[in-house]
């Protein structure tokens, strides 16, 4: 049984390591919504890992696949969708997300993002000599886009995921009931 009832679709955006997949899965469990992850869906449709898609087809083709997945999933009802970190780069994705649900920007500092991503090799953009510099560049480029698309901004730097989910539910309930409290 869901612990919390929140209307409509919930879309999570943010950089690699912000916690979209982790938080999204838990949020879906607690709200009774169905969880999807656009990265997992791209991998399911192609049958290969994201790193392999980048290697063989390049980033632009990956973005096409990602956009197709987001367009399909966003039209479902009552889902939580964790989007890929770069989904906001395309205006069409930002439009689809805004149109079909409540968008939540999970925001964390570079130190946390780095710590949370350093052992996973399936993030091709971070397979570089200086992942910190790369994350900083991505943050500078994308933070305005995440903010543009988001209904809510939530700081995920606090390490306790359970507390984070409770804070997020509180912010969402306030937002959906029309209170300004946590608006970006």
Ligand X SMILES: Nc1ncnc2c1ncn2[C@@H]1O[C@H](COP(=O)(O)OP(=O)(O)OP(=O)(O)O)[C@@H](O)[C@H]1O
Ligand Y SMILES: O=C(O)C1=C[C@@H](O)[C@@H](O)[C@H](O)C1
Answer for which of 14, 84, 101, 131 binds ligand Y (CB under 6 A) is 84
Answer for which of 17, 19, 24, 86 binds ligand Y (CB under 6 A) is 86
Nearest to 14 by CA among 157, 127, 120, 132: 157
Residue 142 token pair: 């994308």
Q: Choose from Mg ion, ligand X, ligand Y, none: what does 116 bind? Cβ within 5-8 Å by kind.
A: ligand X
What mask, x for binding ligand X by CB under 6 A, covers residues 26 to 65? -------------x--------------------------
21 lies in the binding site for Mg ion (CB under 5 A) = yes
Strand order in the sheet with 34-37: 34-37, 79-82, 10-13, 102-107, 152-155
Nearest to 90 by CA among 129, 64, 117, 53: 64
The residue number with the shortest CB distance to Mg ion is 21
What mask, x for binding ligand Y by CB under 6 A, covers residues 3 to 22? -------------x------
Residue 144 token pair: 């305005």
By the criterion CB under 6 A, which residues form the site for ligand X? 14, 16-22, 39, 82, 84-85, 116, 123, 156, 159, 161, 164
Binding-site members for ATP are 17-22, 123, 159
């Amino acid at each position: 049984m869901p612990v919390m009832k929140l209307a409509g679709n919930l879309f999570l955006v943010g950089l690699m390591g912000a916690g979209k997949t982790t938080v999204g899965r838990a949020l879906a469990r607690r709200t009774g919504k169905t969880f999807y992850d656009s990265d997992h869906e791209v991998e399911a449709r192609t049958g290969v890992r994201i790193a392999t898609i980048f290697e063989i087809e390049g980033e632009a083709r990956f973005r096409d696949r990602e956009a197709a997945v987001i367009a399909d999933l966003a039209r479902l009802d009552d889902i939580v969708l964790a989007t890929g970190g770069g989904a906001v780069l395309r205006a069409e994705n930002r439009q689809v997300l805004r149109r079909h649900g409540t968008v939540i920007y999970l925001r964390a500092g570079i130190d946390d993002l780095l710590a949370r991503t350093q052992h996973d090799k399936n993030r091709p953009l971070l397979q570089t000599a200086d992942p910190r510099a790369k994350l900083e560049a991505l943050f500078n480029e994308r933070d305005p886009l995440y903010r543009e698309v988001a209904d809510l901004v939530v700081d995920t730097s606090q390490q306790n995921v359970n507390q984070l989910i409770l804070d997020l539910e509180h912010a969402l309930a306030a937002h959906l009931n029309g209170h300004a409290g946590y608006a970006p």
